[in-house]
Amino acid sequence: MAYFIQQLVNGITLGSIYGLIAIGYTMVYGIIGMINFAHGEIYMIGAFLSVLTFTMLGVTGVTWIPLALIMVLLVAMLFTSAYGWAVERVAYRPLRGSHRLAALISAIGMSLALQNYVLLTQGAGVKAIQPIIRGGISLYESGNFTVTLSYVQIFIILLTVVLMAVFATLIARTALGRAQRACEQDRGMATLLGINVDRTISLTFVMGAMLAAVAGLMVTLYYGVIDFFMGFVAGLKAFTAAVLGGIGSLPGAMLGGMLLGLVEAFWAGYFSVEYKDVAAFGILVLVLIFMPTGLLGRPDIEKV
């Protein structure tokens, strides 16, 4: 029982990271109907920015952890939002009126370009940092096994909950959220009603990039080791989470991320860690066979 609870905690932590990345996918898809395959690399850049900022703060003598975390979070979100804006302007806006396949190829090209950009500037080796948040609390003890909830896991879970609440409020009750929902329903009509569609789409890419930056910081704190290729794998899994929950649904993206994290954690804990990805994608296939739109997705309604 204790081991089960520990894997549950690990799965929720991992699912929180996947969910934040998946929200970026589902926000972009909800408005322009395209998948931003460069989103995983934005997350990877956020992780590298976190490591570089932590290193610079250590050199300058900033050792108070709360201040360091806030500064790293702000720097990562600021710079990754600029990358997200650039991806929309370079890879998507010029091709918005063309065939979807052209935008898809452009996004994949941007993903490879960002990956190799980081490879050339940071090198192929892994980057590692010392643990920033240490310690934890004991939840349950059975025999020789103790269920531990580390402080970094508490930070990741609480930050995810806060961000979900903030973004849900932003989309439901602000002018930007109303503009995003209008563009999702009908971009042409939204333009006629005076909504700046280009600005709304750009801000959506920026918001998704900021969430990816937070996920990059979380991975940096949780594992302490990053590399230039991490964005491809994490992006693929986050895309899987978005499809699993229902592409276009923000709660679905978080639900899909949580389910994917739990499947990976329990499979790695009770079976073989080498096949945890097979189990995750197998669950996706099973769900899509019986629920083609995902767990919380809505079927497309053709406008006539």
What's the pLDDT tens digit per position in 117-132? 999 999 888 999 988 8
Tell me which residue of 108, 109, 120, 122 sits closest to 236, measured CA to CA: 108
Domain boundaries, the chain: 2-290
User: Residue 41: what pLDDT?
Assistant: 94
In the CATH hierarchy, which fold is given to the domain comprising 2-290? Answer: ABC transporter involved in vitamin B12 uptake, BtuC (1.10.3470)
pTM here is 0.91
Give the chain's mean pLDDT: 88
User: Residue 288: what pLDDT?
Assistant: 82
Tell me: the pLDDT tens digits for 246-265?
Answer: 887 888 889 999 999 999 99
Which segments in the chain show pLDDT lower than 70? 298-304
User: Residue 299: what pLDDT?
Assistant: 63
User: Residue 27: what pLDDT?
Assistant: 85
User: Residue 277: what pLDDT?
Assistant: 83
User: Residue 102: what pLDDT?
Assistant: 85
